[in-house]
Chain A
Amino acid sequence: MLLVPCPWCGDRAEVEFSYGGEAAVAYPADPDALSDEDWGRYLFRRANPRGAFRERWVHTHGCRRWFELERDTTTHRIAR
């Protein structure tokens, strides 16, 4: 199990958290102006890198706040 560092509560067991996937995916600024390709990209394409990855977590069974962290997808090591 991962030990996830909540910025407000400290290190807690992974079971207290829910995963939110890639960080910093912005809602399109002008949705009406998007082509089908761009909508498809926004809806379905997410980064899936081998190595360092910025991702979102939420402390569901704790303070219930969202935060970001950087984790290596090949080792699961979370950057401190």
Chain B
Amino acid sequence: MTEHPDHLWRTPEPRRSYEVVIVGAGCHGLATAYYLASRHGLTDVAVLERGWLGGGNATRNTTVIRSNYLWDESAAIYERSLQLWEGLEEELEYDLRFDQRGVLNLAHTLQDVRASVRRVEANRLNGIDAEWLGPDEVGELCPILDVSPDARHPVLGATLQRRGGIARHENVVWAYARAADRLGVDLVQDCEVLGVTVEGGRAVGVETTRGPIAAGAVALVAAGHSTVVAETAGVALPLQSHPLQALVSELYEPVLDQVVMSNAVHVYVSQAHKGELVMGAGIDPYLSYAQRGSFHVIEQQLAAALELFPVFSSASVLRTWAGIVDVSPDASPILGATPVDGLWVNCGWGTGGFKATPGSGLAFAHTVAHGEPHELARPFSLERFTTGALVDEHGAAAVAH
């Protein structure tokens, strides 16, 4: 058995005042805290978490990492994130099980093919590795995938990002938490933020279940609960909270070496190091904060998965679960200022936030530390829902990813 350390971080009592208070200890909140401390020397920072570290979407996602987004703005932040992933185990001195096993995005229709080839070219122009594979090449790379022409969902080809892959999400949470804690950040669990305190148009702190805490800046990183907290400061965020479901199978011998995604049939699957098949579905259509969805969504996803991977018909589902994702109108995040001075938001990552953890934390920490948006964050301002300058990623990333 591996020797476990006693503690990876302290369990401090919250102080009555901090320079920066981060609301939410998921991947993005913890990464923000780490980069505030490590890149900007800001250590008078608390991360307030209503549950436990990484108890929400941080450890409910399917751990897919890639940067093959269509638009320049998205490509920039996701690729920066991927570059950070590539050095993160060394930087945080922690095994993240980061594994660049390659991500295949399948094309099932002529329109899929056109959009995929376009995305490959767009990625290359942005310096991101991307390849287009024909059906035979896809079948060679992934032999258990049914690439026969008479398949229910014929595979007409696929894009491949070899640098894409997976990481173990718990390790990512623990690594950022330990690193932030070592630099002096207070990680306060079981401390729900009930509201943001605004005085004279400026955020001056938060009300919590453990009393009021003053803050020079409030950084809101609350995923599915972002609108609820922002509303207490009078800020209306254009987000809708939906359940997003995923499942794992029992453990099997290695059968799948890559991450395989199919936007058209809402399936994305990889095999974790331990051996379980990890699959994600599309969002449930209705608004929810219940961390569960309807079972037919799982059924439909598995029906498609079985057509793509006939060998899965002998696999058993071990468990299913859901997270509450904050979906924005253009499937892109919201990162930056709000109409309330001193209140910053990092939200709207919707169905695809895990891969962005390092880039999001880096850009948001800079934004909060300098009081103005990091270059990577600028296109993702809240203002774009007034100006109309959307970053419409539905084409490349509309389904859960």
Contacts and interface: CB of A to CB of B under 8 A. Distances in A.
Contacts of A74: 288-290
Given A14-B296, A41-B236, A46-B240, A73 B288 contact: yes
Interface in A51-80: 53, 55, 71, 73-76
B287 A73 contact: yes
Given A36-B386, A40-B386, A45-B238, A55 B286 contact: yes
B329 interface: yes
A55 B286 CA distance: 9
A25 to B, nearest CB: 13
A14 B295 CA distance: 10
A30 interface: no
A40 B385 contact: yes
A15 interface: yes
Contacts of A43: 329, 385
B296 A48 contact: no
B57 interface: no
10 contacts: A1-B295, A36-B387, A36-B388, A40-B388, A48-B240, A71-B286, A73-B241, A74-B288, A74-B290, A76-B288
Contacts, number: 59
B287 A48 contact: yes
Contacts of A18: 285
Contact of B239 (A36, A37, A48): A48
A8 to B, nearest CB: 20
B227 interface: yes
Interface string A11-29: 0001100110100000000
B387 to A, nearest CB: 7
A19 B236 contact: no
Interface in B276-313: 285-290, 294-296
Contact of B290 (A36, A46, A76): A76
A55 B287 contact: yes
B228 interface: yes
Nearest to A4: B286
Contacts of A15: 296
Most B C-beta atoms less than 10 A away, residue of A2, A19, A50, A71:
A50
A37 B339 CA distance: 12
Contacts of B290: 73-76
A75 B286 CA distance: 12
Interface string B349-392: 00000000000000000000000000000000000011110000
B386 A53 contact: no
B220 to A, nearest CB: 14
Interface string B218-261: 00000001011000000010111100000000000000000000
A48 B285 contact: no
A48 B386 contact: no
A61 to B, nearest CB: 13
A14 B239 CA distance: 23
Given A14-B294, A36-B386, A37-B386, A44 B238 contact: yes
Given A45-B236, A45-B238, A2 B294 contact: yes
Contacts of B225: 50
